[in-house]
Amino acid sequence: MLTFFCIIKSMKISLPSGYQYELAHDQDGPSVKAVVYSCLEEYGLPIDPGATDADLNQPATFYKNGFFGVVKNTGTQEIVGTFGLLAYDESSIEIRKMYLLHSHRGKGIGRFMMDYLLNKSKEMGYHRVVLETASVLKEAIAMYEQYGFQLDEQGPHTCRCDRLYYLDIS
């Protein structure tokens, strides 16, 4: 079981037994798309392969100056979750493409991904984390708000999102 020390929450966090995380590779693109598209379809959100979701074709290349990870089921090696970071501006970084297949929710994997991303953001020297989301993603929004994310009235920049959140981490 992978464990690391989280700077943000000052606690040890780990993935549940049966899961592992790793950096995404470009050849993971089809599996990454399958996870993201499945989650979008579940909530009736549009898939946009030519623009908003073009980063999924080659995640390692697109996120080379940020981070893109996948969570895998260790038994099947199936990718069941995705989570990324990309610079937003000089002092802010954006959480992107944080999705988890329905059958793997409720096990602490989403919290692991969030803790990892917040820790990584701080390690990379950023002072603010932002994320865009859609109001239909109620469970995700509840988690973001538990972490202290605040609604930003500026609004999101992507077509399927209607909320922009931020969290100051320094």
> Is 68 domain-assigned?
yes
> Is 133 domain-assigned?
no
Q: Do the Cβ atoms of 118 and 110 come closer than 8 Å?
A: no
Q: What is the pLDDT of residue 159?
A: 81
Q: What is the pLDDT of residue 158?
A: 81
Q: What is the pLDDT of residue 170?
A: 81
Q: Are strands 19-23 and 11-14 parallel, antiparallel or unpaired?
A: unpaired
Rounded Cα distance between 42 and 48, Å, is 15
Q: How many structural domains is the chain composed of?
A: 1
What phi and psi, each to the nearest 5 degrees, are found at residue 61? -70, -45
Q: Are strands 19-23 and 150-151 parallel, antiparallel or unpaired?
A: unpaired
Q: What is the pLDDT of residue 7?
A: 43
**In terms of residue numbers, what domain contains 94?**
3-126
Q: What is the pLDDT of residue 2?
A: 38
> Is 155 domain-assigned?
no
* pTM of the predicted protein model: 0.90
> Is 144 domain-assigned?
no
> Is 39 domain-assigned?
yes
> Is 53 domain-assigned?
yes
In sequence order, the 6+-apart residues with CB closer than 8 A to the CB of 140 are: 98, 110, 133
Q: What is the pLDDT of residue 5?
A: 37
96: β partners: 84
Q: Which helix (H) or strand (E) holds 121?
A: helix 109-123
> Is 135 domain-assigned?
no
> Is 168 domain-assigned?
no
Domain at 100, CATH number: 3.40.630.30
Q: What is the pLDDT along the chain (170 residues), one digit of tens a residue?
A: 333 334 444 446 789 999 999 999 999 999 999 999 999 999 999 999 999 999 999 999 999 999 999 999 999 999 999 999 999 999 999 999 999 999 999 999 999 999 999 999 999 999 999 999 999 999 999 999 999 999 998 877 788 999 999 999 98
